[in-house]
Amino acid sequence: MSPTSKSDEVPSMHTSKKRQNNFFIVCSKCKTSCCKGARPPLTDQRRKILEAHLKDHEICIEDPFIQTSYTFPKEDAEGYCIFYDRKTSKCLVHPVKPETCVAGPITFDINVKSEKIEWYLKIEKTCPLAEALYRNEEALQKHGELAKKEILRVVSELDTEALKAILKIEEPETLKIDEEKIGKDILSKLSSDSQGGGPAGI
Ligand code: SF4
């Protein structure tokens, strides 16, 4: 599973100047969908951006968000994100999608004891994009940089209750790929007994 060999299965994705690289060539081969049961956390800022995008593109979805311990997009009867287009298998809000959707298949956990954020990548058998990234070291590095930036932004902006809630969601089929020190501002939101259960399943 180590990213040891080069491949051009993910062409040009690291050269895009857009926020979200276009992985559709890979993701369209997926037999499942990470947009089912995804429940990506939405900050107030992201929610406003999504609402503006829906309005600008005349996408009419009644009450598109659910607020529990954190806010996430509503789901359809089968558990797919309300922004997932079942006909095209594409995201209706792709340019402004939630940070954790941009970061996928990279996810994270926060270890309060070590004061580190840990980075994980989904395993190949559950995600074709993860498989492509494992085979392309440069692409993995570039996507990793982007994913870290997006996730660090969302964990900084989420309130304590929301951050604790998403850290409790398990994502067992992942491999740890990196870790780094995290800021005191983020650590201060978390109590010592709330973390360490594995990467967040978002
Ligand atoms: S926002 Fe888009 S990418 Fe994220 S779960 Fe929903 S449909 Fe999928």
Q: Is residue 24 part of a domain?
A: no
Q: Is residue 8 part of a domain?
A: no
Q: Is residue 20 part of a domain?
A: no
Q: Which numbered atom of ligand 1 lies nearest the CA of 101?
A: 4
Q: Which numbered atom of ligand 1 lies nearest the CA of 104?
A: 3
Residue 40 CA to ligand 1 center (angstroms) comes to: 8
Residue 101 CA to ligand 1 center (angstroms) comes to: 6
**Predicted model pTM:** 0.85
Query: 3-state class of 13 per DSSP?
Result: coil
> Is 97 a pocket residue for ligand 1 (Cβ < 6 Å)?
yes
Provide the domain count of the chain. 1
Question: Residue 75 and residue 64: Cα distance in Å, rounded?
Answer: 8
Q: Is residue 173 part of a domain?
A: yes
> Is 40 a pocket residue for ligand 1 (Cβ < 6 Å)?
yes
> Is 72 a pocket residue for ligand 1 (Cβ < 6 Å)?
no
Q: Is residue 77 part of a domain?
A: yes
Q: Which residues, in sequence order, are CB contacts of 199 under 8 Å at separation 6+? A: 107, 108, 109, 118, 120, 170, 171, 174, 176
Q: Is residue 25 part of a domain?
A: no
> Is 132 a pocket residue for ligand 1 (Cβ < 6 Å)?
no
Per-residue pLDDT tens listing for the chain (202 residues): 333 333 444 434 333 356 767 788 888 888 778 899 999 999 999 999 999 999 999 999 999 999 999 999 999 999 999 999 989 989 999 999 999 999 999 999 999 999 999 999 999 888 989 999 999 999 999 999 999 999 999 999 999 999 999 999 988 889 999 999 999 999 999 875 444 556 666 6
Please answer whether residues 41 and 158 qualify as being in contact, where contact means their C-beta atoms are separated by less than 8 angstroms.
Answer: yes
Token readout for 83 is 């922004």
Q: Is residue 136 part of a domain?
A: yes
**Atom 5, ligand 1: residue with shortest CA distance:** 35
Q: Is residue 44 part of a domain?
A: yes
- Tell me which residue range forms the domain holding 177: 32-187
Amino acid at 132: A
Cα–Cα nearest to 151, from 46, 54, 71:
46
- Strands (DSSP E) contained in the chain are 65-67, 71-73, 84-85, 90-91, 106-111, 116-122, 174-181
The predicted pLDDT at position 57 comes to: 96
The values of phi and psi at residue 7, to 5°, are -155, 155
Token readout for 137 is 């070291």
